[in-house]
């Protein structure tokens, strides 16, 4: 009996953690979506707020099945929870294998998404903040190099471009001095028209795709460990749900046998 309770509440606790995390994701996504302008980008691949809402909603629904199925011994909810989680587990493994086998195609797709993000940089505040965060974190600029910002309407290096940022790059591409107290947001002014050696004095010239790929190779064990850990946790939750389902079935069978015995005795 104690072992059954341990399985039941362990499954509930694991699902509850993910349930709370999903609720936080939904809340952050909704807040970011409301705070945006009305003409903001609303496509799933280019809108981080919408992506948070979708992922959070899926997590919330799945973990809801697990939480209440474990707590209330709901066989139907536990079956649904374990089935969905097992399907996600298998899809993740398939995606990992395909990503490894077709790594060049993955890089091409990532490059295409990054180029689209650069084009829409000023159209979505969340997307803008995300790109700035990545460029500052990895000390990079653009997709392959700093001149990729010429694809953005505001940073196009053309004489007909009336923007003050024409031929420049965002401030997140700029190098900062350690003792710098006041940061110049126009530090990337006209850097696209400079030679690489000259531009490298003020901004990062290496693209983010190359930097992220290098970081992934350098931290392969860390990324792999986190991925394997999440997969093991998912598999563990599926196993716990399956064990609880077996316990529920056994208890139902025992109740049926007892009711049959009682009815047989009454008939005698």
Last-in-domain residue among 218, 238, 254: 218
114: CB partners within 8 A, 6+ apart = 143, 208, 209
pLDDT recorded at residue 41: 47
142-164 in b/e form (b: 16+ CB < 10 A) is bbbbbbbbbebeebbeeeeeeee
pLDDT recorded at residue 144: 92
62 is a domain residue: yes
List the beta bridge partners of residue 203: 174
Whose CA is closest to 248, among 82, 15, 61? 82
Cβ atoms < 10 Å from Cβ of 17: 12
Same domain (yes/no): 240, 190: no
* CA–centroid distance for 16 within its chain: 19
pLDDT recorded at residue 107: 85
Mean pLDDT by groups of 10 residues along the chain of 268 residues:
76 88 87 64 61 87 88 87 91 85 85 90 84 92 92 88 88 81 74 87 90 86 85 89 87 75 69
Last-in-domain residue among 197, 218, 239: 218
pLDDT recorded at residue 118: 92
Question: Which residue range is the domain that position 137 belongs to?
Answer: 116-218
Last-in-domain residue among 177, 195, 218: 218
109 is a domain residue: no
223 is a domain residue: no
pLDDT recorded at residue 158: 84
* Domain count within the chain: 2
106 is a domain residue: no
Can you tell me the distance from the alpha carbon of 224 to that of 234, in angstroms, rounded to the nearest whole number? Answer: 15
pLDDT recorded at residue 141: 94
pLDDT recorded at residue 36: 61
Whose CA is closest to 89, among 238, 206, 201, 193? 238
pLDDT recorded at residue 51: 81
Are 122 and 128 a contacting pair, CB within 8 Å? yes
Can you tell me the distance from the alpha carbon of 49 to that of 25, in angstroms, rounded to the nearest whole number? Answer: 9
Same domain (yes/no): 128, 32: no
Are 155 and 168 a contacting pair, CB within 8 Å? yes
Are 149 and 141 a contacting pair, CB within 8 Å? yes
Whose CA is closest to 24, among 54, 67, 56? 56
Can you tell me the distance from the alpha carbon of 103 to that of 130, in angstroms, rounded to the nearest whole number? Answer: 24
Are 204 and 135 a contacting pair, CB within 8 Å? yes
């Amino acid at each position: 009996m104690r072992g059954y309770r341990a399985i039941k509440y362990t499954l509930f606790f694991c699902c509850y953690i993910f349930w709370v995390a999903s609720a936080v994701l939904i809340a952050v996504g909704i807040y970011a979506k409301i705070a945006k302008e009305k003409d903001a980008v609303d496509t799933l691949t280019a809108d981080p707020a919408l992506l948070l809402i979708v992922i959070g909603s899926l997590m919330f629904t799945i973990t809801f099945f697990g939480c209440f199925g474990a707590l209330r011994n709901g066989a139907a909810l536990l079956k649904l929870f374990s089935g969905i989680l097992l399907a996600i587990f298998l899809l993740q493994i398939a995606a990992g294998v395909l990503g490894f086998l077709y790594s060049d195609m993955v890089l091409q797709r990532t490059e295409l998404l990054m180029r689209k993000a650069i084009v829409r940089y000023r159209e979505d505040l969340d997307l803008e903040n995300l790109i700035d965060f990545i460029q500052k974190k990895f000390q990079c600029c653009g997709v392959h190099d700093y001149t990729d910002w010429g694809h953005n309407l505001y940073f196009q290096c053309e004489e007909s471009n009336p923007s003050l940022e024409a031929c420049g790059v965002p401030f997140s591409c700029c190098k900062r001095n350690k003792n710098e107290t006041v940061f110049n947001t126009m530090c990337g002014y006209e850097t696209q028209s400079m030679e690489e050696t000259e531009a490298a004095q003020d901004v990062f010239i290496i693209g983010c795709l190359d930097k992220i790929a290098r970081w992934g190779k350098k931290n392969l064990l860390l990324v792999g460990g986190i991925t394997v850990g999440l997969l093991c946790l998912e598999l563990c939750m599926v196993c716990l749900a399956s064990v609880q389902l077996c316990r529920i079935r056994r208890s139902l069978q025992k109740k049926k046998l007892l009711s049959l015995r009682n009815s047989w005795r009454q008939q005698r």
